[in-house]
């Protein structure tokens, strides 16, 4: 949820954002619906948020990488 919120905030500021995660079914759902139904159902994400399942491709060419690890995973 934190990664999605950060991506939305950055995109509203005019930046492109790429979401990467380990749950491919979640990523597929976000890409298809342009929303994160698990954490933000009904909230449309900006068009300049992109989803990528491959971390190498997700960070390729990035000027900044933000790691948003869930606290429970720490």
Of 49, 51, 62, 64, residue with least CA distance to 16:
49
pLDDT category of residue 73 using cuts at 50, 70 and 90: confident
pLDDT 10s digits, 59-71:
999 999 999 988 8
Q: What is the pLDDT of residue 57?
A: 97
pLDDT 10s digits, 13-35:
999 999 999 899 999 999 999 99
Q: Give whole-number Cα distances, 3 to 8, 18, 22, 27, in Å.
A: 9, 10, 12, 12
């Amino acid at each position: 949820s934190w990664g999605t919120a950060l991506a939305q905030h950055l995109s509203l500021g005019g930046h492109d954002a790429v979401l990467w995660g380990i749950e491919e079914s979640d990523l597929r759902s976000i890409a298809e619906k342009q929303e994160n139904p698990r954490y933000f159902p009904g909230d449309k994400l900006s068009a300049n948020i992109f989803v990528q399942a491959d971390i190498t491709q997700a960070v390729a060419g990035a000027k900044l990488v933000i790691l948003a690890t869930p606290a429970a995973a720490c």
